[in-house]
Structure 1
Amino acid sequence: MNDRIVLSLISALTMIISVAVQVVSLNASKKDIFLGIRIPESERNSSELKSIGKKYIAANLTIGIPVIVVFSVLIYKIAYLWLFMVLIFAFMFVDFLVYYRYNRMVSKLKNEKKWLKTKRQVVVIDTNFSKENQNKIMPSAWWFSISFLIVAACAIINIINYSKLPYRFPTHWGLDGKPNGYSTKSYINVLIFPLMQLLMTVIMIFSYKSIGWSKKEINPRNPEESKIRSIKFRKIWGIYIIFINYIMQIIFLIEDLQTMQIIKLDTKIILPFIIIAIVVGVTVVSVTISIKVGQGGSKLKVDIENKAQDVDIRDDDRFWKFGNTIYYNKEDPSVFVEKRFGVGWTVNAGSTLGKIFYIVMILILICSVVPLFFVK
C-alpha cells in the first residue's frame, strides 16, 4: 500500500466521519433544539420538522457521497498534503452549507408558527448546582497524574539512551518500513516526544476542566431531572477525555521507544494501528456516546418522579450567530457553553477569554496548515 492510497483512504474516512457526525447530530441534540434552533419540546415530532429532518439527512448523503468520491480521487491523483488539507476544509464547508440551508428552514418555520412567542418562558438558576464542586461532578483529575509519570519515564529513558544513538538517527518511517526522516543527535531532539506528550496532556486536562467550567443549563420543564442528566453527561464525557488521553499516550510512547531504537516495529503494522486507534476507534466511541447520551444527557434515562411544567426555556436564538454555531453574548460571563447542534461544548465569543481563545485557535490553525503547502 503506497502513500497515495493511504492519503486517499484517510481523506475518504475523514469525510465519511464528517457526514456521519452531521447526520447523528440531528437526533443527538436536546428535545428543544432542532438543527440549532430553539423550539417548543411539544413540536419536536411535528410533521413539518420531521419532513425537514428527512430532507436534511437525504441532502447530506446525496451531496456528501459524490463529493467524497471526487475529492478522494483527486487526492490520490495529485498526492500533495496541501491539497489534502484544502479539500478536507472544502468538504467541511460544503457540509456546513447543507446544514445552514436547513437551519434557515427551521428558523423560517419557527417564525411562521410563532413558536415561543406566546408560551411562558422561564430561566431556572440553581446556585447550588452552579457552585457545586467540580470534583463531585467530574471523575477525579488524579487520573491524569499517570500521564505525567509516563512523560517523566520517557524523558529519563531517552536521556539514559542518549549516548547509544548515532549522530543522525531516524525519526520518521515510510509505509515501506524504511526511514525517510532523520534528526541530528541533541538533547532537544531526543526529548521532542516527551515534550509533545506533555503538551498533549496539558491540552487534555484543559479540555477536561472546561467541561466542569462550562455553563450549567437547566430545563425549566423538568429542573431536577435536567440537573441529574447534566451531571451524568459531564461525567461520561470526562471519562471519555481521560480514555482519549491514554490512547494518545500509548501511541506517543510506542513512537518514542521506536525513535530511541529501544524497540523495532514494522511500520506496516504500526501505521494501520495508529489510523484505526485515532480515526476509527476514537470516532466510533465518540459517535456511540453521542447517540446513547445525547447533548446535555438528553438521551439518558433518569429514575425520578418529576412532573413536567407547562413552560419553555427562554428563547436565546438571538445570541447564536452564523447558523446558530457561534455563541456571542457579552452579558453571559460563561466562557464555555453547550453546542446548539451536535454534542459537546463551544466558546462564548462575546467574552474576553472567548475572543482570545478564538484568536489563538486561528493562529494555531494557520501555523499548522501553511507549512503543508511546501510538502509533497
Structure 2
Amino acid sequence: MTDAALLIHLTAIAVAVAAVGLLPRISRDTVPFGVRVPPERVGAPEVAAATRAFVLSVLATGALAAVASLLLWPVLPAGAATGTAGALLAAGLAACYARAHRAVRRAKAQGDWYAGLRQGVAADTSLRTAPLPFPWLGALPSLLVTAATAAVGAVLYPGLPDRLVTAVVYRGEDVEYTTAATTPVIAFAPVFFQAVMVAVLLLLLRLTLRARPDGDASRPRENADRHRRFLRIWARSVLVAALLSAVALGGLALLFWTGTMAGAGPAAAALVAVPTLLSGLVPLGVAVRIGQGGWRLRADARDGAGTGLVQQDDDRFWHLGGLVYVNRRAPGLLVPKRAGGFGWTVNLGHPAAWAVLGAVALAVAVPLTLGLLGVVDLGGSDFYGWKFEPGAE
C-alpha cells in the first residue's frame, strides 16, 4: 500500500496547486492579488505580467514539492515525508502569492492609478429591508439524511458486537485493525460529526445570506442585482455540499456499524471518499465559474452610463496581502474575501470577531488539553476510517 499512500499524497499536491493557481480567475478583476485597482486598470500590462508569473511559479512550486516527496518517501517515515513536503509546498505557494501581490501594489503606487478619479462607496440596503429567505426546503435533505442515520444507529446499537473496528490501517502489505469498546460515544461518533458538519454549513449559509457584498460605486444597481443572483447560486452549492457531507458520514457510520469497514478495504473507503471529495469540488467549481461574489455573472439591472465614481481604494484596511481585514468603522462582521479564495472573511475590527475567534480557539484547545491530561484519547481508537502508511521494506 506504499504506492497507494504516495499516490494519495501526490494527488493532494496536485489539488492544492490547482486551487491556488485558479485564484486569479476566482478573485474579482478589480482586486487582483488582493490589491484594489480602478476598472480601467483591470487589463494593465503589470497585472497581466504578475498573473503569468504567478501561474508559472505555482506550477513550478508544485513540481518541486512532488519531486521532494518522491525523494523523501523512501528515506523518511510517512508522516515526516508528508509533513516536510507539505510545509515546503505551503511556503512556496505563499511566496508566489506574496510576490504577485507586491508586484501589483508597486505598479499601482508608481503609476498613481487613482490620481484624478472620483472615489465613492455603494451599499445595498435592500439586503436588510428585503433579505433573501433562508432555503429551509433545500436544507431538508441533509437534515433528513442525518436523522435517518441516527435512527438506523439506534436500531442497530443493541445488536452491535462488544468491540467495533474504528480504523483500518494499511501498512505496507499488512492490514491492521484498530478496535474500541462499543459505547454510545464510540458508536455514534460518526453521527455526531455528521450533525455538526451539517449544522456548521447551514449556519454559515444563514450568516452569509445577510453579509454585505463587495461594493461597486460605478454601477451599484448592477452590482446589487449580481450579488443577489450570486447568493442564490451560493446557497444551492452550500446545500449540495451539506447533503454530500451528510451522505459521506452516513455511509461511514453504516460501514462502521455493519463491520463492512474491515472487509471491503479501499473499495469501501471510496464510497465515503467520493461524496466527501465532491462536497469540496462543488463550491470550487462554482467559484471558478462565477468568480468571487459572482462578479462574472450577468446583471439584469442597468445603471446606464454609470455614476462616474470608482469604488473607494480601501487597501489600508487589508493586511497580509489582502488576507486580513480590520476596519472598526465597518458595521459588518463578515466581509467578502479579497484574497485566498471564495467566500467571506471576518472583520477583525468588529467586537464580535474576537468572540468568534475565542470560541474557535476554545474548541481546539479543550480537546487538546483533555488529551494531554489523559482524559480523552486523541489517537488510535477514535480514528474513524482508513489510513495508508508505508511499510518496512
Work out whether 1:312 is the aligned partner of 2:281: no
Q: Kindly tell me: are residues 27 and 46 of structure 1, through their superposed partners in 2, closer, same or farther at Cα, counting changes over 3 Å?
A: same
Q: Which moved more, 1:91-100 or 1:354-363?
A: 354-363
The answer to whether the 8 A contact 2:127-2:210 is kept is no
Cross-structure match for 2:354: 355
Could you tell me which of 175, 180, 190 is aligned with 2:177? 180
Q: Which moved more, 1:198-207 or 1:208-217?
A: 208-217
Which secondary structure does the structure 1 equivalent of 2:209 belong to?
Answer: helix
Q: Distance in 1 between matches of 2:83 and 2:136?
A: 35
Distance apart, 1:276 and its partner CA:
3.8
Distance apart, 1:106 and its partner CA:
0.9
CA displacement 1:164-212 (0-9 Å, x = unmatched): 2221121222458966111112222222221111111111112212221
Aligned-residue identity in percent = 19
Cross-structure match for 2:342: 343
Q: Distance in 2 between matches of 1:348 and 1:86?
A: 33
Cross-structure match for 2:58: 60
Q: Kindly tell me: are residues 38 and 81 of structure 1, through their superposed partners in 2, closer, same or farther at Cα, counting changes over 3 Å?
A: same
CA displacement 1:257-279 (0-9 Å, x = unmatched): 12211767622212234334333
The answer to whether the 8 A contact 2:65-2:85 is kept is no
Structure 1: runs of 5+ lacking an equivalent: none
Q: Which amino acid aligns with 1:229?
A: R
Q: Which amino acid aligns with 1:34?
A: P
Q: Which amino acid aligns with 2:40?
A: S
RMSD in angstroms over aligned alpha carbons?
2.8
Work out whether 1:261 is the aligned partner of 2:258: yes
Could you tell me which of 138, 154, 170 is aligned with 1:159? 154
Could you tell me which of 209, 212, 231 is aligned with 1:212? 209
Q: Distance in 2 between matches of 1:274 and 1:74?
A: 29
Q: Distance in 2 between matches of 1:198 and 1:343?
A: 24
Distance apart, 1:107 and its partner CA:
0.9
Q: Which moved more, 1:173-182 or 1:161-170?
A: 173-182
CA displacement 1:88-111 (0-9 Å, x = unmatched): 344223211110111011111111
Q: Distance in 2 between matches of 1:110 and 1:124?
A: 23
Q: Distance in 2 between matches of 1:343 and 1:99?
A: 16
Cross-structure match for 1:115: 113
Q: Distance in 1 between matches of 2:252 and 2:141?
A: 18
Cross-structure match for 2:142: 147
Could you tell me which of 227, 230, 234 is aligned with 2:227? 230
Q: Kindly tell me: are residues 258 and 274 of structure 1, through their superposed partners in 2, closer, same or farther at Cα, counting changes over 3 Å?
A: closer
Q: Distance in 1 between matches of 2:352 and 2:71?
A: 42
Cross-structure match for 2:31: 33
Distance apart, 1:45 and its partner CA:
0.8
Q: Which moved more, 1:228-237 or 1:270-279?
A: 270-279
Could you tell me which of 15, 25, 40 is aligned with 2:13? 15
Q: Which moved more, 1:236-245 or 1:165-174?
A: 165-174
Q: Kindly tell me: are residues 200 and 214 of structure 1, through their superposed partners in 2, closer, same or farther at Cα, counting changes over 3 Å?
A: same
Which secondary structure does the structure 2 equivalent of 1:45 belong to?
Answer: coil
Which secondary structure does the structure 1 equivalent of 2:218 belong to?
Answer: coil
Distance apart, 1:86 and its partner CA:
5.6
Distance apart, 1:233 and its partner CA:
1.3
Which secondary structure does the structure 2 equivalent of 1:260 belong to?
Answer: helix
Q: Distance in 1 between matches of 2:85 and 2:358?
A: 23
Q: Distance in 2 between matches of 1:263 and 1:67?
A: 36
Q: Which amino acid aligns with 2:285?
A: T
Cross-structure match for 1:46: 44
Could you tell me which of 104, 117, 132 is aligned with 2:102? 104
Q: Kindly tell me: are residues 166 and 27 of structure 1, through their superposed partners in 2, closer, same or farther at Cα, counting changes over 3 Å?
A: closer
Distance apart, 1:333 and its partner CA:
2.2
The answer to whether the 8 A contact 1:220-1:309 is kept is yes
Work out whether 1:247 is the aligned partner of 2:244: yes
The answer to whether the 8 A contact 1:177-1:266 is kept is no
TM-score normalised over the length of structure 2: 0.84
Q: Kindly tell me: are residues 351 and 24 of structure 1, through their superposed partners in 2, closer, same or farther at Cα, counting changes over 3 Å?
A: same
The answer to whether the 8 A contact 2:168-2:178 is kept is yes
Structure 2: runs of 5+ lacking an equivalent: 373-377, 384-388
Q: Which amino acid aligns with 1:295?
A: Q
Distance apart, 1:372 and its partner CA:
7.4
The answer to whether the 8 A contact 1:81-1:372 is kept is no
Q: Distance in 2 between matches of 1:372 and 1:95?
A: 30
Q: Kindly tell me: are residues 41 and 353 of structure 1, through their superposed partners in 2, closer, same or farther at Cα, counting changes over 3 Å?
A: same
CA displacement 1:341-376 (0-9 Å, x = unmatched): 232111112222222333444565676899679x97
CA displacement 1:111-170 (0-9 Å, x = unmatched): 1111224310011123223433230xx5x1333333333333323322322232221121
Q: Kindly tell me: are residues 74 and 209 of structure 1, through their superposed partners in 2, closer, same or farther at Cα, counting changes over 3 Å?
A: farther
Q: Distance in 2 between matches of 1:360 and 1:92?
A: 26
